Chain A
Amino acid sequence: MDDLSRFKQTYFDESAELLAVAEAGLLRLSPGDVDMDEVNAIFRAVHSIKGGGGAFGFSDLVAFSHEFETVMDEVRNSAIPVTTELVDTLIRANDVLAQMLAYAGEGVDAPPGATDDTVAALRHALAASGGGGTASAAPQTPPPATSAVNDDEDDEAGIFGDAMAAINAARDSEAPSPPPADRVRWTIVFRPKSDLLLSGNEPAYMLRALRRLGDAEIVCHLDDLPKLADLDAELLHLSWTITLTADAEVGRERIDDVFEFVADECDIQITADAPLPAVIAPPPKRDAPPNTPPALSESALVPPGATAAKTDGTAKPRGAGTNGGPGTNGGSGGGEHAGLTTHTIRVDLDKIDRLVNMVGEMVITQAMIAEHLRDVPPGQFQELQEGLEQLAQHTRELRESVMSIRAQPVSSVFSRMPRLVRECAALTGKEVQLATSGENTEVDKTVVENLVDPLTHMIRNSIDHGLESPDERERMGKPRAGTVHLSAQHRSGRIVIEVTDDGRGINRAKVLSKAIEKGLVQPGASMTDEEIDHLIFLPGFSTADQVSNLSGRGVGMDVVRRNISSLGGRIGVYSTPGEGSRFVLSLPLTLAVLDGMVISVGEERFVLPLTNIVESLRPKPADLHGLVNKCDVIMARGEYVRLVHLHRLFGIPKAIDDATKGLVVLVETEDGSRLGLVVDEVLGQQQVVIKSLESNFRRLDGVAAATILGDGRVALILDVAGLREMSRHSGDSASGGGRSPAPALPAPKSESRQRQTV
């Protein structure tokens, strides 16, 4: 008995896995996207289930899986095209196979006709394929005598054959005393459809009739009983398992006769157990296969929370249900379909990228139409104008929807950090706690993927340089364990990721002396704290006295900044000595499209990301102040803001130099510092498709990317933080150092610009 159950259990466990494999494969199978490896995996799964089933003598199961397998074989041979209909049929077949396995697991026969519909559908699929005579003939053939494909199955059967021999041997050795043979135990599983009562049939009478045939133990299953609120008193939602011990002369037909009028409306399984004494113990206990119907075997009769009531056969079984009763073939497994109605689909990334690209082109086209209509006098073509407004609106929404498809939560990156922190802590002998927040913040997949390296560097840096040793922390009255906090949040159309530590903060004196030592800063330069803090992002800068295993190779923060800016992002650091440091990464949510303001400078057009713009204003002469040896500033909203003349920066001729005659666009970087850009004109707001400058040309300081405007002109998308850096270097000779300012847009003019600005 134990051996038998163990061998069978192995088979059922294996089959459950195979079913899952087949199901997963089937769900991924879609027309036009057929992965032959998947198809083969499905085929093998079905094939193996069939092979094992044959060895254990589950003939119904074998017959059905053979049908299934035949179709899969044709799919494998590309003889049947993969259609949505076919996939549906195959998925259904997989469900039926699961049910057949469940029946086999319970040791009961599948109800007659349980597989008919599905078999018909499978054969239909074969026939519809025109897949030749072999295909249509095969299903009729009984499993053992099939095509060459099945030969390898015989090997499996051989293995199982040995198992069967062992099982039989075990069975023989354990063979109980010969059964009295005059009593037979029947197991009847009776699952009526919910509308049974509406045809005037009364299950209680049938149960009573069964009791007249012998000793009946009747278990009523209430697990399908709906909540009282959902209960329809005219529907039946009870089912029963009757264990009938009757005299041998009470034949199967007597039992069938009881259900004569309801056989079609019910799921009835009638099985004769072996003669009585051999089977007093319930069927071998085993973990139910995943798809086992909830109340088939006695060992699994009562699902947790449900009640099983013994009835004497007279109970008024007026249960009720809302789901229209088990069908003959979906019957006992009907509840399992929930898992198949999936709410996600897998889509190849290329398809999404094509979509993103198309949307980008559409944005440009829309901008072009808008451009053409700009000159139309107001009031004319009113409907066209309105239609265009709507188109613009829809384009924006479409863009956002498409972008959201590419969006992923940053948790995939954040989740790697605890391990990193543990390793770093172990290496440095520090105690570190990692706290994360905003893991569910979503951002473009590319951004997520490219966050791994920068974040790794930053967290290492925080632990290695930022946090003190436990003893030192204790002396300073801090908890021994330092905390590194990793957070993500959306802020004005960008994602802002912060790495905060509660360590010692940046040692500015040390940073400054190191920078001077390395020739990055000229001795005597007057720098703000913030400027000193940001020195750590300079190439070749490292403050670690000794190069440690973790960081200190002097590439870390430099690489971080480069990585981040290649994503159109920026990094800033804020540090308070003794209290810790905060690194702030700001990244665009998407790399494909942005809302921008088109401005003109001379003949050139530029795009400013809308998220950077505070306001634009035409300053009065009184607002402007020239600083000696420094750039001009403007008094705006009560604070002095540095003015940047874009035409000077980029060497553009024929542009307005006097800010009072042009416009000043007040922009703000992520860290809150402001800049006044002097431009000729603000042309209007527009969605622009970002085209990488680096992949098409090369990287330029102060420029994030390029785009194509509605009139077909190429415009550069300005990088505000980059502009600030440039203006600092070009306007402030003290900190200019050896760094050469960015190449100007029209490259040959770089010389003249230098002369102009220095």
Chain B
Amino acid sequence: MAKTILSVDDSASMRQMVKLTLSTAGYQVVEAADGREALAKAKAGAFNMVLTDLNMPNMDGLSLIRELRGLPAYRGVPIVFLTTESDAGKKNEAKAAGATAWIVKPFQQDQLLGVVRKVIGA
């Protein structure tokens, strides 16, 4: 059964790139444009992983991570966030909020796949 990943990013181009990469690798991808939308979709459905940007309108990535970790269904679901090399402080905040892993932007397609495989085991 294909694993379903929730991809959260306010940048449509980034969402597309992520979706292309992951679908090609056989994952199902559901998209959300910000944290609030992502949280609603997460509550409505079940995902094997959440991939989220940090800087987003309405609800940012950090809040989304905290909200998700507060949901029983998402306590153990891997959450990967996108970050930049320069923003070490954000990275630690996200980890403290309960994030599982991170991908440093910009990234190659196989880097993304590598991280996803690492956190969901396939």
Interface residues of A (CB under 8 A from B): 197-202, 204-206, 208-209, 234, 258, 260-261, 264
Q: CB < 8 Å: which of A200, A205, A206, A261 contacts B76?
A: A200
Cross-chain contact of B119 among A208, A261, A264 (Cβ < 8 A): A261
B119 & A198 in contact (Cβ 8 Å cutoff)? no
Name the CB-closest residue of A to B74. A200
> Are A198's CB and B98's CB within 8 A?
yes
* Chain A residues, Cβ within 8 Å of B119: 200-202, 205, 261
- Closest residue on chain B to residue A318 by CB atoms: B76
Residue B100 contacts which of A209, A258, A261 (CB distance < 8 angstroms)? A261
Answer yes or no: B77 CB below 8 A from chain A CBs.
yes
Q: Which 9 A-B pairs have the closest CB atoms?
A: A200-B100, A205-B121, A261-B101, A200-B78, A199-B100, A201-B100, A199-B98, A200-B79, A200-B77
Residues of A within 8 A of B118 (CB): 205-206, 209, 258, 260-261
A206 cross-chain contacts in B, Cβ below 8 A: 118
A202 — which chain B residues lie within 8 A by C-beta? Answer: 76, 78, 119, 121
Show 30 A/B contacts (Cβ-Cβ < 8 Å), sorted by A: A197-B76, A198-B69, A199-B95, A199-B98, A200-B77, A200-B78, A200-B98, A200-B99, A200-B119, A201-B78, A201-B101, A201-B119, A202-B78, A202-B121, A204-B121, A205-B118, A205-B119, A205-B120, A205-B121, A206-B118, A208-B121, A209-B118, A234-B75, A260-B101, A260-B118, A261-B100, A261-B101, A261-B102, A261-B118, A264-B95
The 8 A CB mask of B103-120 against A (1 = contact, 0 = none) is 000000000000000111
Contacts of B121 in A (CB 8 A): 202, 204-205, 208
Query: Of residues 47 to 77 in B, which have CB atoms within 8 Å of A's CB atoms?
Result: 69, 75-77
Interface of A is mostly: helix
What's the Cα separation between A275 and B95 when bound, in Å?
38
CB distance from B37 to the nearest CB of A (A): 21
Q: Within the assembled complex, what's the spacing in Å between the Cα atoms of A264 and B99?
A: 13
What chain B residues lie within 8 Å of A200 (beta carbons)?
Answer: 76-79, 98-100, 119
Complex alpha-carbon distance, A205 and B116, angstroms: 11
| Residue ID in chain A nearest B96 by CB atoms | A199
| B interface, CB within 8 angstroms of A | 69, 75-79, 95, 98-102, 118-121
Query: What's the least CB distance linking A150 to chain B, in Å?
Result: 38
Give Cα A720 to B69, complex, Å: 79
Q: With a CB–CB cut-off of 8 A, which chain A residues contact B102?
A: 261
A-B contacts besides A200-B98, A201-B101, A261-B118, 13 pairs, CB < 8 Å? A198-B69, A198-B75, A199-B100, A200-B76, A200-B78, A200-B119, A201-B119, A202-B78, A260-B101, A260-B118, A261-B101, A261-B119, A264-B95
Taking the closest CB of chain B, its distance from the CB of A577, in whole angstroms, is 86
Complex Cα distance, B79 from A198, in Å, reads 11
Cα distance A261–B76 when bound, in Å?
15
A206 closest partner in B (C-beta): B118
Task: Give every chain B residue within 8 A of A197 (Cβ-Cβ).
Answer: 76
Contacts of A205 on B, CB cut-off 8 Å?
A: 118-121
A180 to B99, CA, bound (A): 43
Tell me how far the C-beta of A209 lies from the nearest C-beta in chain B, rounded to whole angstroms.
7
State in angstroms the CA–CA spacing of A199 and B99 once bound together. Answer: 6
User: With a CB–CB cut-off of 8 A, which chain A residues contact B75?
Assistant: 198, 234
**Distance, CA A624 to CA B97, complexed state (A):** 93
> In angstroms, how far is the closest chain A Cβ from the Cβ of B120?
7
Which residue of A has the minimal Cβ distance to B50?
Answer: A200
Q: Which residue of A lies closest to B98 (CB)?
A: A199
Q: How far is the CA of A57 from the CA of B100 in the complex (A)?
A: 38
Which chain A residues border B78 with CB–CB below 8 Å? 200-202
- How many angstroms from the CA of A731 to the CA of B46 in the assembled complex? 106
Q: Please measure, in the bound complex, the distance between the C-alpha atom of A508 and the C-alpha atom of B95, giving whole angstroms.
A: 92
Q: Which residues of A contact B100 (CB under 8 A)?
A: 199-201, 261
Taking the nearest CB of chain A, how far is it from the CB of B12, in angstroms? 26
Output the least CB separation between A367 and chain B (Å).
Answer: 63
Q: How far is it, in angstroms, between the C-alpha of A208 and the C-alpha of B121 when the chains are bound?
A: 8
Q: How far is the CA of A264 from the CA of B102 in the complex (A)?
A: 13
Bound-state CA distance A206–B121 (Å) is 8
Closest chain A CB from B94 CB (angstroms): 10
Min C-beta distance of A618 to chain B, whole Å:
83
Residues on the A chain within 8 Å of B98, using CB:
198-200
Q: Which residues of B contact A261 (CB under 8 A)?
A: 100-102, 118-119
Nearest-neighbor residue (CB-CB) of A195 within chain B: B98
Complex formed: what's the CA distance from A212 to B122 in Å?
12
Query: What residues of chain B lie closer than 8 Å to A199, measured between beta carbons?
Result: 95, 98-100
How many whole Å from B43's CB to the nearest CB in chain A? 17
Nearest chain-A residue to B92 (Cβ)? A264
Cα distance, A199 to B78, chains bound together (Å):
7
The CA of A201 and the CA of B95, in the complex, are separated in Å by: 11
